Amino acid sequence: MEQDRINELVDTINKASYAYHVLDSPMITDQEYDDYYNELLRLEQKFPLYKREDSPTNRVGGEAIDKFNKVIHQRPMLSFDDIFNEDEVIEFDERIRKVIPHPEYTIEPKMDGLSGSLIYEKGVFVRGATRGDGLVGEDITFNIKTIKTVPLRLTQDIDIEIRGEIYMSYASFEKANQERERNGEALFANPRNAAAGSVRQLDSKITAKRNLDFMAYFIPNPEEYGIKTQEETLRFLKDLGFVTNINLNQVASTTSEIVMYIDDLASKREKLPFAIDGVVIKVNSLLDEEKLGFTSRVPRWGIAYKFPAEEVLTTLIDIKFTVGRTGKITPNALFHPVHVAGSLVSKATLHNEDYCKQKDIRIGDTICIRKAGDVIPEVVGVKEERRTTTLVPFEMIQFCPMCGEELIKKEAHHYCVNEHCPARKIESLTHFVSRDAMYIEGFGERIVEDLYNMNYIKKVSDFYTLKKVKDELKELEGYGEKSIQNLLDGIEASKGNSLERLLFALGIRYIGKKTAKILAKKYKTMDNLLSTTYEELLSIDDIGEIMADSIMNFIQNSDNLTLIHELKGYGVEMVYKGIDTRNNIYIENKIFVLTGSLEKFSREDASKIIEENGGKTSSSVTGKTSVVVVGANPGSKYKKALELGIEIWTEDEFLEKVKSE
């Protein structure tokens, strides 16, 4: 009797939840829901053996764990490549049409949350996991159970994996921050960060209070359920009991339709109840998906269009000056924290004195902030009309803020010329281990600064002597045996880097990643470079007098030669390990633009061929363009090439030139 009533109540409440969350058509009143829920709670407490796995009372949380267990995804959870403009939408479509002549696409909002995987057995929810690195995630089953838009039992008794976005609505975000403010806690920066933090709580009761949601959008193996298109996938998900974005989705067959959808959704963005940061474009047919396949890291059949950077206003509080590894002094804007493009920011670079004076930036100004590429905060400009009082014009400092040395100005920038300035030393050491340089994993600015201040690292070669003081390092506060060993392993691995990484890491003035690679390709070994001449450097494309002077000054400096000798002695390899370019008189030293629908090779393959043969590619036609390679329907770039009298090749001509040498 009691078991029958429990089953009846669970089924009634779950059906009511489905009608409310999925169908947006309530079948009972809030009062009835509460009455049924409270009755069920009383019966389950009295007869716990009859409690079902899919009982709605499981959503209150209460399970606490010590840590999250790792979960290996049966199928990798890959993410899409990002694009940022209409030209890239067209290029994506062109790549697809080389394989699928007449593709159809589904277009849907790109939710700004975090990906989650849900596993159901015989229709009952059994496990939830985060995406993690795409191969291994974390088990968050207890926390997933608290999300009301995750059905604990599906409408069909099937085994299935469902993927979607775990997110926090704007309403839940505001409510959560109000509570945190009352409790004197730091506020969440944005809904995405709030969702990510909430779903990784070790106590699921905390997660339950945050009112997270789940938007389903993907099944890894849809063909096993008779599904043939992405559009059918969304309908099937809704039928199973999930909330989907099907009402906001659209099917398109042309790039103009895709662009119109993007513009329309962007205009609706602020009115949506949840955050989105772009649009996801997928090939609709699953058979077409299979033909297109995957690269080693992303699906070829989909792409993520990111919305342009958002601009917001705030007040400039102060300008702080920092010292870089070359001694360059950079003014930085400190302003009232403001949400921009999904995160809370409070500082941005102001580049140099000229930048500050051109924009007439003054402390106290109302400034406009945006994120370049939705990543790096930048000051767009000043709202001079909002100045209500007299503000002090910007003045560049005259002395180094770290060592007090008088600054000198070279071109647009000011420099501290004190080679022993602590700030320069630390920046130089941090640069050496950074991702684009020697990439010694585990080292960050804080660790470098600690080891510098404790006299373990004073120059870059000291990184390779740290293993001698391993036992001492283990005794330092906050440095365990495992973390020290990881640092030492990273140091050892860095010895095998290709020459261009070392050249960039050494911090030769004016030599960035690109020039470092040019030098490495040209000279092959460090010894060859050390034997070069000024005239030989000037003969290299892309290296002018300033760069040549800087390189010669570096390789003629006795301290630098001693450093290179030390690094060799510690086993750091100094040879180029990249792909050698072939000399082709038709391609070498020329700038190419690719346009139109290319049928015999992809743009990526063409660009690689050009680079390997000593040429370069550009996205726009200018007076410096050497050759325009055209496919079908080339458009405005072809017309501009004709106007400028630039050489034009067909695909066949391009391939002929490549094979000719």
Q: Tens digits of per-residue pLDDT, 170-225?
A: 999 999 989 888 888 877 877 888 898 899 888 888 999 999 999 999 999 999 99
Contact 16, 33 (CB under 8 A): yes
Q: Which domains does the chain have, with CATH numbers?
A: 2-60 (1.10.287.610), 82-306 (3.30.470.30), 311-414 (2.40.50.140), 422-494 (1.10.150.20), 499-569 (1.10.150.20), 591-659 (3.40.50.10190)
Widest Cα–Cα separation across the chain:
97
Q: How far is CA 324 from the centre of its chain?
A: 25
Give the distance from CA 449 to its chain's centroid.
Answer: 27
Quote the CA–CA distance of 450 and 442 in Å, as a whole number: 13
What is the mean pLDDT for each group of 10 consecutive residues in the chain (661 residues)?
85 78 70 78 83 78 73 87 85 93 95 94 94 86 93 94 96 91 81 87 90 95 95 95 93 93 88 92 95 83 84 90 88 87 78 92 91 69 86 94 91 89 89 90 85 88 92 77 88 93 92 89 94 92 89 94 95 84 75 82 79 79 88 77 87 82 54
Give residue 319's pLDDT: 95
Q: Using CA atoms, how far apart are residues 59 and 448, in angstroms rounded to an integer?
A: 46
pLDDT, residue 63, reads 62
Query: Does residue 119 contact residue 161 with C-beta atoms inside 8 Å?
Result: yes
pLDDT at 342: 54
Tokens 């590619």 -> residue: 617
Q: Which two tokens stand for residue 146?
A: 């608290």
Asked if 624 is an active-site residue, the reply is no
The CA–CA distances, whole Å, from 30 to 18, 40, 459, 598, 657 equal 14, 15, 68, 59, 74
| Cβ neighbours, 10 Å, residue 415 | 19
- Can you tell me the distance from the alpha carbon of 312 to that of 318, in angstroms, rounded to the nearest whole number? 18
Cα separations (Å) of 33 from 2, 208, 222, 424? 19, 18, 34, 65
The confidence score (pLDDT) of residue 542 equals 80
Count of alpha carbons within 13 Å of 110, Cβ hemisphere only? 20
What is the Cα–Cα distance from 570 to 309, expressed in whole angstroms?
46
3-state secondary structure 116-135: EEEEEECCEEEEEEECCCCC
pLDDT tens profile 273-329: 999 989 999 999 999 999 998 876 789 999 999 887 667 889 999 999 998 888 889
Q: Which helix (H) or strand (E) holds 559?
A: helix 558-569
3-class state of residue 281 by DSSP? strand
Say which amino acid occupies 305: Y
Give the count of beta carbons closer than 10 Å to the beta carbon of residue 114.
16
Model pLDDT, residue 374: 46
Q: Which of 110, 328, 359, 517 is catalytic?
A: 110
HSE (side-chain half, CA atoms, 13 Å) at 551:
27
